[in-house]
Structure 1
């Protein structure tokens, strides 16, 4: 059935993949973002700042389903008001508009960091409590927003659920993989942080999109999905720097040798954050050097995806190895000079 589907944050990496998929499925898609530059002819593009309640109300008129993907990813301990204004207030504006327009379905793109407290999580499932300590404005605000969304589900006309991906990568990535490549090209990625014995989950972009499509389809009366959160990953935990190494080996760069002790990396990250704060705080320019990200590198954080498989009828179709290959192939297609030498086996 063709539906009118609005996707917030539709110009970013994840948002654009969602726009493309829902449009390819034949739905009438509205891409709502602070950037309204069109990238395909069969999609409606709307300039939208989700902090503007009146603008959100107007944008959601006539919509059947909302995929709320817009957020400010910022794990430094600065620009706190900006992060909360987008991630929580923006979400509250979406919820108010869903009620006003009696929108049946809302899928919220949350984060696995909602349950992370800086300690090991091994095969964690959705029974884990929310983090009880402050990790970063991003994580704190995403927790608050997810709580609002799940409590909101079913109290009026809207059924809602939350999708919790972890370390998303793939073709079109404009943040995670490019930051890695910037470091390796500059010769700044020769050592791992810690012992490379802690496992992390990763999520290939099309696997995440599959899960969102499945969730939107199943948000109907009587479905178990309403009011629920779901971890979405590839289900193939791997040490963080093993993943990075596989990626750069595909491009012909040498393997990562040696290590930097956690205490040193954490201290450097803390100093970098302090300097950034003195400058007023920069958004979307972290490059992995924050205390939050350094803690991630030296702890287990991988999740059980059985609930999503059961409730959503979803399973990850693209393996981690295939996802890395597809990501590299797309990068090299756009920038052939990225690959040096012969592709590593």
Structure 2
């Protein structure tokens, strides 16, 4: 695991992925500082409250640490929020890079996403050589791509070594985004599948994500193979997005969706929902129930190879799919 000398800063450490990175660092005996908009309220860490959009606050948080894990980003699916997404995901991320360089930080690990390479076309067994698309399906994917690219371009600047971990669909304890939406629909018996059930998608368990971040820090140094590189972090062989959830619903005693909407119909519905969200949705402050990105990413093949992470990082998920499911179901059953 990563060298214990020095201190680690987890930006976004109060978030879903960030909390698990913090827990993994503490378990490994690291000194940890957290920078987030809300306090993590953990007496074992230095708890710094601040905003990525404040360059002075970010720079101060970077002082005195050796490794920075940048897991903070704004996830916003509603149309019409480009300004906020750029302010946090792109310009805020620049503050992190500048703060690291100014403070003499040795390593910066960026929590990226498979969305950086998705343009609405199928991807089958994609690898790290895939080029960035010229157009993304939503502003979130575009801003994550811009942030990742700037992190990787910063490798070597002021002695800073950087890398990016592109996460597949993350699940596990603390998930307040992916699973709650599926469970709410199942409890109301309104669950529905999109597409014909043949498309495939990757998922990754959140504690394995944290482990991958610590592995990256262990291997990351200037001149190393991973410096300036990106890696897809996946656990499971690809499977249909909706059938992935079936065992969880079964274990929770919830009905499995039996209805389905064809891809083209779902895409037209999503287009209408997005147009509505651009107008009346601003007054309602509600996300559209369906977006074109959601439809395309679940109805088209969208899966990757994890071979390069296995080769360069030695990544092999320490928690099996069965144990990940058990822990997730236990958390959801509380």
Give the TM-score range, shorter chain: over 0.9
User: What is the Cα deviation at residue 131 of structure 1?
Assistant: 1.6
Contact 2:101 2:157 in 1 (8 A): no
Does the alignment pair 1:89 with 2:88?
no
Q: Any idea what SS the aligned residue of 1:14 has?
A: helix
Correspondence for 1:343: none
Does the alignment pair 1:273 with 2:253?
no
Q: Any idea what SS the aligned residue of 1:145 has?
A: helix
CA distance in 2, matches of 1:37, 1:149: 25
Contact 1:170 1:327 in 2 (8 A): yes
Deviations 1:106-140 (Å, cap 9, x if unpaired)?
A: 00001111111111111110011112213111000
User: What is the Cα deviation at residue 155 of structure 1?
Assistant: 2.7
User: What is the Cα deviation at residue 193 of structure 1?
Assistant: 0.8
CA distance in 2, matches of 1:296, 1:287: 16
- Alpha-carbon distance change, 309 to 37 in structure 1, aligned in 2, over 3 angstroms: closer
Correspondence for 2:316: 315
Correspondence for 1:306: 307
Contact 1:179 1:287 in 2 (8 A): no
CA distance in 2, matches of 1:42, 1:291: 42
- Alpha-carbon distance change, 9 to 244 in structure 1, aligned in 2, over 3 angstroms: same
Deviations 1:48-101 (Å, cap 9, x if unpaired)?
A: 100111111111111111000000112333210000110000110001111111
User: What is the Cα deviation at residue 254 of structure 1?
Assistant: 2.5
Deviations 1:235-272 (Å, cap 9, x if unpaired)?
A: 41110111122221121122221311122222222222
Contact 1:76 1:292 in 2 (8 A): no
- Alpha-carbon distance change, 30 to 288 in structure 1, aligned in 2, over 3 angstroms: farther
User: What is the Cα deviation at residue 282 of structure 1?
Assistant: 7.9
What are the residue-to-residue correspondences of 1:114-263 with 2, within 5 Å? 114-189=116-191, 191-263=192-264
CA distance in 1, matches of 2:311, 2:181: 35
Correspondence for 2:110: 108
Deviations 1:282-334 (Å, cap 9, x if unpaired)?
A: 88x648621111111111111111111111111112233432232112211x1
User: What is the Cα deviation at residue 273 of structure 1?
Assistant: 2.2
Correspondence for 2:325: 324
Aligned length: 330
How high is the TM-score relative to the length of structure 1?
0.91
More displaced 10-residue stretch of structure 1: 243-252 or 161-170: 243-252
More displaced 10-residue stretch of structure 1: 97-106 or 127-136: 127-136
CA distance in 1, matches of 2:325, 2:287: 22
Structure 2 unmatched ranges of 5 or more: none
Contact 2:208 2:317 in 1 (8 A): yes
CA distance in 2, matches of 1:198, 1:65: 38
Q: Any idea what SS the aligned residue of 1:199 has?
A: coil
Contact 2:186 2:257 in 1 (8 A): no
Correspondence for 1:341: none
CA distance in 2, matches of 1:124, 1:117: 13
Contact 1:50 1:93 in 2 (8 A): yes
How high is the TM-score relative to the length of structure 2?
0.94
User: What is the Cα deviation at residue 228 of structure 1?
Assistant: 0.3
Does the alignment pair 1:4 with 2:15?
no
Contact 2:93 2:147 in 1 (8 A): yes
Contact 2:156 2:222 in 1 (8 A): no
CA distance in 1, matches of 2:25, 2:52: 21
